[in-house]
Structure 1
Amino acid sequence: MAVTRARPTLEAVAQRAGVSRATVSRVVNGSTTVAEPIQQAVRRAVRELGYVPNLAARSLVTQQTDSVALILPEASTRVFSDDQVFPGIILGVSRELEAAGKQLVLTLAESAASHERVERYAMGGHVDGVLFASLHGADPLPGALAQAGLPVVCSGRPLGQAPVPVPYVDVDHVAGVRGAVRHLLDSGRRRIATIAGPQDMVAGIDRLAGYRAELRDAGRRPVEAFGDFTRESGAVAMRQLLARDPDLDAIFVASDLMAHGALRTLREAGRRVPEDVAVIGFDDIELAGYTDPPLSTVRQPIQDLGRTMTRQLLRLAAGERIEPTVLLPTELVLRASA
C-alpha cells in the first residue's frame, strides 16, 4: 500500500527556520522588510522541506494570479507555422514575464466561440492582464476587457472605436515602407508594384499606405495586388502582377514570407532578381538571409515588440500611467535582391 507524504505546511517551515508563521509568509510572498539572515533561514527551510506555496490561497489574499494572457486571434495553423513573426513575439513576451516572475498563458481565439470562451476566462480573474497580437478588423474584445477593468495592451493599433482607449505598441510601418520604396526609386526603378497584406490588419493597412504615399510624392502610379502574409498568397499575387503589368521592374512585398513566394514565381517566369525585378520584403525573419538571392527587407524588432508591450502591461497592472502609444523604429536591410 502506497504511503502519501503529507505536503509541507507554512507552520512546518516556520518551526524548521525558528521563526513565526507570519515571518515565513512575508518571505514567501516576496517582502523585503525581513532581515536578510532570517530570509536565508526561511529559504533554506523551504528547500529542505520541499515546501511549495499554495498559489490559489495566495491569490485569494492578494487578488493577483501572477499570470498574463497573450491572446492571438489566429488559427493554430498560422501561429504554429514557418511564419517567424509569431514565435518572435511570443519569445519576447515570455522572456519579459520570466524576468518579472510571471506566468505566460498563451491563448488562441480563431472563432466567435473561442472569443467568448477567452472573454469569460479573462474576466473570471484567472489573469492579471491581457496582451493582444495579430488583431483582425474591429475586434471588440480588447476594449471589452479594458472597460471591465483589466489591464490590456495590444501589439498594433486597434481598429474601430473601443468603449475605452486601449494602449498599444507597434512599429512605424509607414516610415519603414516609404524608406524601402524611396530606395527603389533612387535606384532608378520606374514601375514599382506592391503585394499588400490583408486590409483587416493594421500592418497590412499601414504598409500599403506607406507605399502609396511614397509613389504619390514621386508622381508614380501604384500597381497593387493583395495577399494574406502567407508564402502561397505571395506567389499567387506575383503571378497576377506579372500578367497585369509585364513591364514592372521592382516590387515591395508586405511580408518576407510573401516575398519568398514572389521570388519563386519570378524565377518560374524567367525574371532575374534583381537585374529584371528588384524585390524588398518586410519583417527580416531568419528566412530573409537564405532566399535566392538573399532578400532585402524592412527589419522590424519583433522580439522587442513582445518585450515592450509586456513591460507596458506590467506597469499598467502596477497602477502606473503609461504612454497610450509606443512606436518602435524600423531599419532597411539591403541584401542582393534590391
Structure 2
Amino acid sequence: MTAAPTPRKPTIRDVAAVAGVSYGTVSRVINGGHWVSPEARAAVEAAIVETGYTANHAARSLATGRSNSLAFLLTEPQHLLFADPTFALLLRGATEALAERSMTLVLLIADTATEQANVERYVRAGHVDGVLLVSSHESDSLLAALVEAGVPTVCTGIPLGEVAGVPHVSVDEAGSARMMTRYLLDRGHRRIALITGPNDTPGGRFRLVGFREEMGELFDPALVEQGSYEQATGDAAMTRLLERAPDIDAVFAASDVMAVGAIAALRRAGRRVPEDVAVAGFDDSGLAALHTPPLTTVRQPWAEISSTMVDMVLDVIGGTPREPVMLPTTLVVRDTA
C-alpha cells in the first residue's frame, strides 16, 4: 500500500501567479510594507485566501531579524494577574491590537530577582521585538536593564526612578485623584480617608499627591493608609483607619479591589455604605459595576491604553521616537458614594 503524497504547501510565487502581480509585491503586502496600490493589495489578499497560503514565520524571522511578537511583562506576583482585573483588561486589549496585525503576544511574569534575570536574558536574546511593561516599581532594575540593552520598551504609567525618556502611556493620576476628592468634598464629606497604593508605583505616588492637594487644609496624614492593590490590604487598611479615626465619613481607595476590601471591613464594624461612610474606588475594571452596592469610581480607558501602547512600541521598533501619552479618565457615580 502506497502512502498518499503530501500536498505541496502554496508559496508566495503561487500567490503572485494567482494575483497577477510580482513576487516582490506579494512580499511587501505580507510584510506590511508601503508602496503597494490598493488594487494590488486587494488582489494579493484575495489570492492568499484562494491558495490557502500561510506565512513561514520562522523563515521571515531569519530574513527580517524580528520575531513578530511582543512581550506583555508583569513585574508582580503571579496571583495578581488573576486577582487584579486591570491586568486582564490590558492583556486582552494588547492581544486584540496585535491580532489585527497578525502578531503574537508573549506573557512574561517576573516578580523575583531570579525571574527578572531570566526575563532579561530571554528578551535580550531577541525572542520578542519589544516589551509592554504593564507594571513597574521604582526599586526594580529590570526597566533600566531593558533600556540599557536597547530593547524597545513602553510602560504603563510614568516610570519612576533614574530611568528617563522611556515612552509611556499614562492617565492623569494626580488630576484623577483630585477629581474624585473634589466630588466627595462637594457631597459634604470632610473626614475623608485615603487607602493608597505602594509609593514606589506611579499610581500609589501620584494619587496620594492629588488627594493631598485637593484636601488642602483638611488633609490629615492620620487618615492615609497604604495597601498593595489587593482586597485583603484594603480590608486591613480600613480596619486600621477605623481604629484610630472612627469619625471617618468617606474613604477613597486607590483601586476598586481595595475599595471592595474596605467595604468588607466597614460592614464588620457595623458601618453602612454609603449612609455612614461613602466609598470610592479607582479603575472601573468591571468589578466596580458588579459589586453590591456598585462602586463609585474613576474609569480608566483600558482599551485605549492597550492600543496606544502597542502603536507606540511598534513605532519605536520601526525607529520612530514617541512622546509620552496621557489619557483622560472619567468619574463614574454609582451607589457607594
* Match in the other structure for 2:54: 52
Tell me the secondary structure at the aligned position of residue 97 of structure 1.
helix
Contact 2:77 2:111 in 1 (8 A): yes
Tell me the secondary structure at the aligned position of residue 306 of structure 1.
helix
Q: Displacement of 1:76 after TM fit?
A: 2.2
Unpaired runs of at least 5, structure 2: none
Q: Deviations over 1:280-335 (max 9, x none)?
A: 11111222123332211111212221121112112222222211x22112222112
Contact 1:253 1:259 in 2 (8 A): yes
C-alpha separation in 2, matches of 1:336 and 1:105: 39
* Match in the other structure for 1:183: 183
C-alpha separation in 2, matches of 1:72 and 1:309: 14
Q: Displacement of 1:25 after TM fit?
A: 4.0
Contact 1:138 1:158 in 2 (8 A): no
* Match in the other structure for 1:248: 248
Are the structure 2 counterparts of residues 45 and 220 from structure 1 closer, same or farther at C-alpha, using a change threshold of 3 Å?
A: closer
Unpaired runs of at least 5, structure 1: none
Q: Displacement of 1:254 after TM fit?
A: 0.9
Q: Displacement of 1:47 after TM fit?
A: 4.4
Contact 1:143 1:165 in 2 (8 A): no
* Match in the other structure for 2:328: 329
* Match in the other structure for 2:82: 80
* Match in the other structure for 2:312: 312
C-alpha separation in 2, matches of 1:289 and 1:17: 51
Contact 1:143 1:166 in 2 (8 A): no
C-alpha separation in 2, matches of 1:60 and 1:130: 20
The residue type paired with residue 268 of structure 1 is R
C-alpha separation in 2, matches of 1:34 and 1:85: 39
* Match in the other structure for 1:212: 212
Contact 1:294 1:335 in 2 (8 A): yes
Tell me the secondary structure at the aligned position of residue 335 of structure 1.
coil
**In the TM superposition, what are the counterparts of 1:59-78 in structure 2 within 5 Å?**
59-78=61-80
Q: Deviations over 1:3-32 (max 9, x none)?
A: 555544455656777776556545544456
C-alpha separation in 2, matches of 1:294 and 1:35: 52
The residue type paired with residue 184 of structure 2 is L
Runs of 4 or more off by more than 3 Å in structure 1?
1-51
Are the structure 2 counterparts of residues 332 and 33 from structure 1 closer, same or farther at C-alpha, using a change threshold of 3 Å?
A: closer
C-alpha separation in 2, matches of 1:261 and 1:302: 23
Q: Displacement of 1:44 after TM fit?
A: 5.8
Are the structure 2 counterparts of residues 44 and 219 from structure 1 closer, same or farther at C-alpha, using a change threshold of 3 Å?
A: closer
Contact 1:137 1:200 in 2 (8 A): yes
C-alpha separation in 2, matches of 1:12 and 1:126: 30
Q: Displacement of 1:206 after TM fit?
A: 1.2
Contact 2:248 2:277 in 1 (8 A): yes
**In the TM superposition, what are the counterparts of 1:125-204 in structure 2 within 5 Å?**
125-162=126-163, 165-204=165-204
Q: Displacement of 1:180 after TM fit?
A: 1.3
Q: Displacement of 1:41 after TM fit?
A: 6.4
Are the structure 2 counterparts of residues 45 and 105 from structure 1 closer, same or farther at C-alpha, using a change threshold of 3 Å?
A: same
C-alpha separation in 2, matches of 1:291 and 1:26: 50
C-alpha separation in 2, matches of 1:39 and 1:284: 41
Are the structure 2 counterparts of residues 75 and 6 from structure 1 closer, same or farther at C-alpha, using a change threshold of 3 Å?
A: farther
**In the TM superposition, what are the counterparts of 1:276-295 in structure 2 within 5 Å?**
276-295=276-295
Q: Displacement of 1:48 after TM fit?
A: 5.2
1:106 matches 2:112: no
Contact 2:191 2:250 in 1 (8 A): yes
Tell me the secondary structure at the aligned position of residue 282 of structure 2.
strand
The alignment of Structure 1 onto Structure 2 pairs a total of residues equal to 334
Tell me the secondary structure at the aligned position of residue 282 of structure 1.
coil
C-alpha separation in 2, matches of 1:331 and 1:18: 52
